[in-house]
Structure 1
């Protein structure tokens, strides 16, 4: 019996195009201004120090900004970048520059599962705050009350088994009682190796991985049959 669902966001609950064509360009456009304006604030200052640590150099502010923009262009999954992006996106959401894209079928099923007592979690390479924002300012209103928790790269890389073992421990259910949803085969493989159940959500018609159940979208996922 499934007691908890952990879902990927990009390509699973939300479109890849929203992240790549809306969020990433917005962060790139506003990164320099944001860093210069807020560099003295403790939360931002801590992330800038993490950038220096990651590159192993005592970069000045301009050097940090150049590295952050480079990481955005390379789609790097680096924690200080993701944290700063989340801060920039928060301002964008609050200013009404965009709303968080969530598929209708995902919003419907998440509400249904929550009503049934299923515990819901998100796991994304985006920061926890960025995850909360996409659901908090979604096209279907504030969906954050549906979630029991969020996981990001601080718990581990999404394609590494150890990350899913940490998630299992944090949730506190037996591994087979937890379902992981994603469009990415390597993530699904890692979750299965950790003992979770998995469903591949193939919105873009990805090549199916025979190691788990397939679904075109959330409407095809029946927890009672897992």
Structure 2
């Protein structure tokens, strides 16, 4: 853990690779959305959501003349390369919402996650999620788990549009301002070293998490890693 050992008032958690399985995202969620991108755009092209996706892709690419099929091709390319682009995250969330609603999809969380969230809630520690996935997708993930609806255990969510990129220290300062607490009272847990670096630069405390089933191995380069959320805040009582 980096940062001064001040008493924690909030914990901010990454999803992919930290609270949920990396493989679930890449083997289940991404392919599910990619295979439905063209049909979704065809069915929703005239809706407000469809117009918003078209406009945001055209703006992001700097090509306002892009036709719908060209927008779909851009989204598919972004999906293939896991580009952290807000328009892609928006449409993925909309497609996944249908899958959660029909029961085709569930959000994967490790067994220690609901236990930790409940313990922190009882202790008065605020609990937030920060992911590149859209806030709507984050809510759906935690609302449809094998452990039931976990959203009552969470206080809020941040994404690319509400905070910014996860490797930019300014994003963590934006979250800090939104939470209304000092940086050294916030702990960020992630499986990505560059994200932890950005949070530490912003003055946050950091915890590296690397799950036992992670194909990248047990270590987060540059950090001492843990394989669960168990005891994550044991040395940081509520302030």
Q: TM-score range by the shorter chain?
A: over 0.9
1:183–1:206 contact (8 Å) kept in structure 2: no
CA distance 1:208–1:22, shift in 2 (3 Å): closer
Query: Could you report, residue by residue, the CA deviation over 1:124-156 in whole angstroms, capped at 9, with x for unpaired residues?
Result: 010001101100111111111111111111121
- Partner of 1:65 in structure 2? 72
Segment of structure 1 superposing worse, 8-17 or 201-210 = 201-210
Question: In the aligned structure 2, how far is the partner of 1:148 from the partner of 1:220?
Answer: 20
Question: In the aligned structure 2, how far is the partner of 1:148 from the partner of 1:225?
Answer: 19
1:219 counterpart (205, 230, 238): 230
In structure 2, the residue corresponding to 1:224 is in which secondary structure? coil
1:109 counterpart (110, 113, 116): 116
In structure 2, the residue corresponding to 1:195 is in which secondary structure? coil
Query: Could you report, residue by residue, the CA deviation over 1:167-220 in whole angstroms, capped at 9, with x for unpaired residues?
Result: 111111111110100011000111011011111012134434555x53211114
1:47 counterpart (53, 70, 76): 53
1:142-221 matches, cutoff 5 A: 142-154=149-161, 155-203=163-211, 204=214, 205-209=217-221, 214-221=225-232
- Partner of 1:99 in structure 2? 106
1:2–1:223 contact (8 Å) kept in structure 2: no
* TM-score, scaled to structure 2: 0.90
Question: In the aligned structure 1, how far is the partner of 2:11 from the partner of 2:50?
Answer: 32
Question: In the aligned structure 2, how far is the partner of 1:172 from the partner of 1:191?
Answer: 16
Query: Could you report, residue by residue, the CA deviation over 1:42-88 in whole angstroms, capped at 9, with x for unpaired residues?
Result: 12211210001111111111111111111100111000110000000
Higher helix share: 1
Structure 1: unaligned runs, 5 residues or longer: none
User: Higher relative contact order by CA 8 Å / sep ≥ 6: 1 or 2?
Assistant: 2
